[in-house]
Structure 1
Amino acid sequence: MKQFHYHEPKTVEEACLMMAELGDNAKLIAGGTDLVVQMNRGAKAPSHVVSVKTIQGLDSIIENEEGFRIGAATLLADISDHKGMQSKLPMLCSAARSIGSAQVRNLSTVGGNICNAAPSADMAPGLLALNAIVTIAGHENLRTLPLEEFFVGPGIVNLEKGEILTEIFVPTPTSGTQQVYLKHGPRRAMDCAVVGVAVTLLFEQPTGRCQQARIALGAVGPTPLRAKMTEKLLVGKTFNEFPLDRIAELAAQEASPISDVRASADYRCEMVSTFTKRAIVQLASFA
């Protein structure tokens, strides 16, 4: 590993200013479960490493009537174990538990999982399906944008020079919203997703018609993505009216996977069909 200078800013403003001044020679670090591995391999060799672990408030989960404000440096283990999120955002807790080992989850952060911008990031589909909004701080201003607009491409996010992700806001789902994250991979644990499917459905009572549907897919495109055309096939229908085979087919058509060492593109499309249909059937049984 190449030698580097290590910095511990105490505030968001200090971190942003530091990143602006150091430019491309600097990398942010939180848990380090991705960056340190790449530095050991020689894939990345920053001259400066700027830690956000010492910035107060970036590792907090604040729940209010509107939803959950999750600091970017919040550990995946803390998300997995949070009682309020287990009650209202169980999909995110499930996604967090699916990542790595207990040791990894006690180091990894939600911000790192998102900012790494891997198409297979396990937290991304659930956050997309739950309408997450990110807060981005620069050394002169704050801005917010939907998580959908944060992902630009593999390994690329919507951060300008001197900006850092500080918070992810997840609005509390409407009462009665059903949600699930299904992950498919070679092993049940300690593996990246070959396909990830997150689905939220809201059924009107007592008619049983679907009022809202959101489907998000991971590991099947350059970025995590919404299957928006597929969602439209569900809204306004009861479960018995769902064209499940067409839904499964269309979800696969909305994906644009590649073939790699984990799976072929054709296999990923088939699994998108299978797991989208499985998730919908599972949620309908709880409605």
Structure 2
Amino acid sequence: MHVLILGGTTEARQLAGLLHGTPGLELTSSLAGRVASPRLPPGEVRVGGFGGAEGMAAWLREQAVDVLIDATHPFAGTISFNAASAAATAHVPLLALRRPGWVPAEGDDWHEAGALEEAARLLPDLGRRVFLTTGRMGLAAFAHLDDLWFLVRSVDAPKPPYPARMEVLLDRGPFILDGERELLRRHRIDVLVTKDSGGAATAPKLTAAREAGVPVVVVRRPRAPEGVPVATDPESAARWIAGRSTWGAPVQGAP
């Protein structure tokens, strides 16, 4: 049985760890290649695109893939629709592995935005010193806000266009609450911008903002393909895969 994981997320690496070493199971993880030094999952890894839905469908056929797991970032967008189309074309079962989104708690001051451009429009009325945690892609949406100062956190250095008044913090999660509190205090942050990525690795910033009374602009997740079954954790995904196994050996992470 050949399983292809469209990955790059913590959940994708965890699922690969659960599956790796299962007798009779061939495992391949596919990374988009947008991060210079990604954290590699166990097993075979390919890096780069497929050439759209048609290219992915051809790869599924050529490599005799039996199960496709879309464990990409909730904001990857296009790749999820390509996966749905490719799976249908190649007649390969598809499962989406999606961490649940964040839910506001008592004391949160959240302002929802449908896209980065809408988030940028909200900022001037909310604060002047912005902690921007949406990654290095999409900074152009904030480039015109010359009156605001930005602390931009990303794994890799951003490329222009980006805000003129900006400090870049190169770092990757998981982050701890004390560290997030100190960032808000040291940089005198008065508004936070984040995508609704979900998960625990980057959630401490939300707690720190709540404690400090800092408003948060939350960019909603994009629309996902309809009709695709969803697992919310790697263990559930491993059990789903085990239910489709034909080689007679149990999946390591799904007894």
Instruction: Give the TM-score category using the shorter length.
Output: under 0.3
Structure 1 length-normalised TM: 0.25
Relative CO higher for 1 or 2, CA cutoff 8 Å, sep ≥ 6? 2
User: Which structure has the highest helix share of the two?
Assistant: 1
